[in-house]
Amino acid sequence: MDAAKLDQLKQFIDQCKSDPCILTDPSLSFFTDYLQSLGCKLPHGECPHNKSKPYVVEESDEDLEENEEEPQPHGTAEEEEESEIVESDLEFEGETVEPDNDPPQKMGDPSVEVTEENRDAAQEAKAKAMEAISEGKPEEAIEHLSQAILLNPTSAIMYATRASVYIKMKKPNAAIRDANAALEINPDSAKGYKSRGMAWAMLGQWGEAAKDLHLASKLDYDEEISAVLKKVEPNAHKIEEHRRKYEKLRKEQEERKIEHERQRRRAEAQAAYEKAKRKEQSSSSSRAGGMPGGFPGGFPGGMPAGMGGMPGGFPGGMPAGMGGMPGGFPGGMPAGMGGMPGGMGGMPGGMPNIDYSKILNDPELMAAFKDPEVMTALQDVMKNPANLAKHQANPKVAPIIAKMMGKFAGSK
């Protein structure tokens, strides 16, 4: 027995020893059947690296082109989707209070005409309220101020004063209602802005607090407003910086989404273009037949009227290089050139000795054979020679056909 074959067999046995799963390969079934006939025990179960290969169906180039995996745009919608921006919590300095939810306090009717007598009575009630405040009796002060408001509901100072008492009582919502009423009557009420700004600060509405307190300070500056602003402004700045930061982040995120969408659409359009281009190239290649590898089927029925009489056709087809014109030009080429320039006249003797090298060595003709439009026209004429007339007006096709006929006519 050949020593080289024995060596190969020995190597195969060594491989089987090191990896018995090799024997599960279906291609070795003839060998495993023999081993089992000798009573050998073979490995059972599926070995992961020796799975049988799936049956592969051969496909044509056109099918492969059609089934070719399309290029996917970079990043799917799920991959590109960004998580929603979650704002971080801010830490503020200063104390806040729980919102007061008491029923709204009594408010005056601003449409009531205030008499001089009611105006004086309202001032007396206000004086009693101030006395109660100095004695540390805010509830009693509220009662006197409420009476004063009912007597003179057109007085912004009455509402603003009661708002300041509610501030002392840590009832910011009630204070805001009175401050709003005061500012409706007098939009330049410094005390109204001051009371409302301090109420906003109690509720932790630092931005609104800073705005109202700045307006109050411009209208009538006092030390109390300045002291509250020193506590409010740092928090208000934090809120403003925080707001700008996340507005910028959201804007950038939106811009990225728009850019991703634009890129996705561009990629889809590019993929569609490439697919259409490949399909067109495949279609053009199919239409081109085998040129310059041959004129399958020859020119059935011969060339139409006007191409010159070639009764003998092209026997034997085209020589090497052109791929042949199987069947030649059966039927010959009827007399008369029809619409070809100058006419070719009849060639009654046939063309027994055509020098095909004149065509194969003509760069213009060989280049034209690669042009899908020219090849489509030539195939159209092959299928129906009468179609030659409709191509004579084509500046690209007509000269090529004329030149080919000139080559034929010039052969001896």
| pLDDT of 84 above 70 | yes
Number of alpha carbons in the 13 Å side-chain half-sphere of residue 85? 13
Question: Which pLDDT does position 52 carry in this prediction?
Answer: 43
At 306, give phi and psi (nearest 5°): 105, -5
Can you tell me whether residue 326 is helix, strand or coil? Answer: coil
* pTM exceeding the 0.95 threshold for the entire prediction: no
CATH level 2 (architecture), domain 89-287: Alpha Horseshoe (1.25)
Q: How far apart are CA 375 and CA 394, in angstroms?
A: 13
Within 186-222, where are the H helices? 190-202, 206-219
Q: Average pLDDT for residues 25-43, to the nearest whole number?
A: 78
Distance CA 331, CA 353 (A): 18
Q: Which long-range contacts (CB under 8 A, 24 or more apart) does 60-67 make?
A: 61/282, 62/282, 62/286, 65/278, 65/279, 65/282, 66/279
Does residue 346 carry a pLDDT above 50? no
pLDDT at residue 51, as a whole number: 45
Please, what is the end-to-end C-alpha distance for the chain in angstroms?
Answer: 67
Domain ranges in the chain with CATH number 1.25.40.10: 89-287
Residues listed for the chain? 412
Q: Is residue 4 scored above 50 in pLDDT?
A: yes
pLDDT digit string (tens) for 207-264?
A: 999 999 999 999 998 999 999 999 998 888 888 888 888 888 889 888 999 999 999 9
The Cα–Cα gap between 216 and 193 comes to: 5
CB 210 within 8 A of CB 49: no
